Structure 1
Amino acid sequence: MMKCFVLLSAVLALGAAQESFKCPDDYGFYPHSKSCDKYWKCEDAKAELKTCGNGLAFDASDPKYLTENCDYLHNVECGDRTQIEPAISTPHCPRLYGIFADEAKCDVFWNCWDGESSRYQCSPGLAYDRESRVCMWADQVPECRNDEVAGGFSCPAAGEIANSGTFSRHAHPDDCRKYYICLEGVAREYGCPIGTVFKIGDSDGTGNCEDPEDVPGW
C-alpha cells in the first residue's frame, strides 16, 4: 500500500512539474513548451494555464509577448509545439473552430465558430481547395469529382467548332445567367453579372453577357 502511495505521489509531482511555469515578466502571454493550443497568461508575475478553443492555436508570433491571440490552426506556426487537444465535432465541423470542406459537394465549405457552422458556396465553376483553403477552378481541385466539374458539361471535340481558337463559349442548359468556357478541352462555368444573361453568338462557340431585352426568347 505504501509503495502505491509513493508511486502516485511521484506521478502527481511529475505532472505538477510539467505544468509549472515561471513568468519572465509581470505581464504577458507565453506559448506552452509542448502544446500548440495552450499558453500561459502572466499577471502580477502569476502564471495561469489557458487553452484556446477547439480548432484554434496560440499565435506566439509577438516578440514582446503582449498579444493574447488564438487563431485557426492552419494560420499558426506551431513548430515543436506538437501536442493539441482532442477534436470536438458538431455537424459539418470536425472541430469547434475552423474552415472545413463539405464532404458531399466540392464547391461548398463551412466556417465553424464555437461549433456553429455557416455554409458558403464558391462562385460558378469554382471549388473549395482543402490545402490552400480558397476557391479555385474545379478542374484544379483533386477532391472534386468529375461529374461536379462544370456540372458534367463536356466540351466539343478539337476541330468540331470552326474558327473557335483556343477557347469557346457555350450556353448553360438550365440557367440563362450561366455559360461555359472551354479552354483546351476543359470546361469552366462562368456567371453573367446580375441583370444580364448569356446571349449565344452568331457563330458556334461564341456569345456574351447582354441585357435581357437584347436576348431573343427571354
Structure 2
Amino acid sequence: MKTFACLLVLSALTYSAYGQENFKCPDDFGFYPHHISCDKYWKCDNNVAELKTCGNGLAFDASDPKFLTENCDYIHNVECNDRTQLEPAVGTAHCERLYGIFADEAKCDVFWNCWNGEASRYQCSPGLAYDREARVCMWADQVPECKNEEVAGGFSCPAAGEVANSGSFSRHAHPEDCRKYYICLEGTAREYGCPIGTVFKIGDADGTGNCEDPEDVPGCEDYYGDLDLKSIRKSELLAGLNSSGSSRAVTHNKGKPRPAPASRTAPEQPAN
C-alpha cells in the first residue's frame, strides 16, 4: 500500500513538472512569457518551443502584444504581475545580481550599475543621495537611507532669526571646499556645487553669496590649479552644462582651506 501511494505522489510530481514545461507554441514564431517565472520565456521557431532564461537580474518584458520582441530588461523595469518566481541571485562585489542598479551599502550618495557582474560606480551630485525605491538621485534629507548618516556633511543651519535679511533661504560656504556651499531652507541644509570653473564667494551680508571666478575670491584663487579654465568653460558651455552646477569630477590643487568666517567680520573695501 505504501509503495502504491509513493508511486501516486511521484506520478503527480512528474505530471506537474511536465505540465509546467510542456509549452505549445501559439504561432510558428514568437517569444512568450513563462507562466510563473518572470526571468524565463519561451522562444518559438518553426512551432518548436525552447525555454530561455534572462541574465541574472533581468526579466522578460512581455509587453509586446504581438509577442515578436525578445527583450530582457532590469527586473525593476518589468511588470511581472503573477510571474513571481526568479532564479536564485548570483552576485559579485557591489552587485546583488549580475545585472541591475544597486545602492552602495556604505555611502548613500553612491550607486552601482551592474552589467554581467561588472560594477560601474556612480555618485549623485552634491547634496543628493540615491533613493532605492525611486532609483534616482534625490535631496539627501528626503532619502530614508540617509537619515542615519550625516546629511550635508554634518552642517547645521543657523537657528531662526540668527541670519538677518536672508529671505526665505540663506547660502553658506562649505568650510573646506571652495566650490561647494549650502542652502538652508526651513532649517534644512542642502549641499550645492558651483558650475565648474567657479567657486563660491561669500556675500557681504550674512547668509548670502554667489558663484564667481576664483581670482575674485580671496583664498580660493588656486582652487583649480593648472587647469585650463577657458577650455573647460567652453566645453561645458557647448555641452549645455555651464549653469547646471554639475558635479563632474575635477582634479584640482585644493591648497589651503577656505578662510575662516571670522576674517569676514569687516569686509575689505575694493582697492582704488
How would you bin the TM-score normalised by the shorter chain?
Answer: over 0.9
Look up the SS of the partner of 2:55 in the other structure.
Answer: coil
Match of 1:153 in 2: 155
Q: Any conservation in 2 of the 1:146–1:152 contact (CA below 8 Å)?
A: no
What letter corresponds to residue 175 of structure 2 in structure 1?
A: P
User: Which of 17, 31, 39 is the matching residue for 2:33?
Assistant: 31
What amino acid is aligned across from residue 87 of structure 2 in structure 1?
E
User: Cα–Cα, structure 1 residues 2 and 131, in superposed 2: closer, same or farther, change >3 Å?
Assistant: same
The structure with the greater share of residues assigned to strand is 1
Cα RMSD (Å) = 1.6
Q: 1:10: how far off? A: 4.9
Q: Distance in 2 between matches of 1:185 and 1:17?
A: 62
Structure 1: runs of 5 or more not aligned: none
Identity %: 82
Change in Cα spacing, 1:180 to 1:41, as seen in structure 2 (3 Å) is: same
What do residues 48-103 of structure 1 show as CA deviations (whole Å, max 9, x unaligned)?
A: 00011111110000011000000111100011111111111111111111101111
Residues 5-84 of structure 1 mapped to structure 2, 5 A cutoff: 8=10, 10-84=12-86
TM-score (normalizing by structure 1):
0.95
User: Where does residue 139 of structure 1 map in the other structure?
Assistant: 141
With normalisation by structure 2, the TM-score equals 0.77
SS at match of 1:143: helix
Asked which structure has the greater CA Rg, the reply is: 2
Q: Tell me, yes or no, if structure 1 residue 190 matches structure 2 residue 181.
A: no
Letter in 1 for 2:91: S
Instruction: Kindly provide the amino acid, as one letter, of the partner of residue 144 in structure 1.
Output: C
- Which runs of structure 2 are paired with 1:106-185 in the superposition (5 Å)? 106-185=108-187
- Within the alignment, does 1:199 sit opposite 2:212 as a pair? no
Pairwise CA distance, 1:6: 6.8
Aligned pair in 2 of structure 1 residues 146, 21: CA closer, same or farther (>3 Å)?
Answer: closer
Residues matched between the structures, number: 218
- Once the two structures are TM-superposed, the CA of residue 114 in structure 1 deviates from its matched residue by 1.1
Instruction: Classify the secondary structure of the residue corresponding to 1:66.
Output: coil
CA distance in 1, matches of 2:111, 2:40: 27
CA drift of 1:178 comes to 0.3
1:204 partner amino acid: D
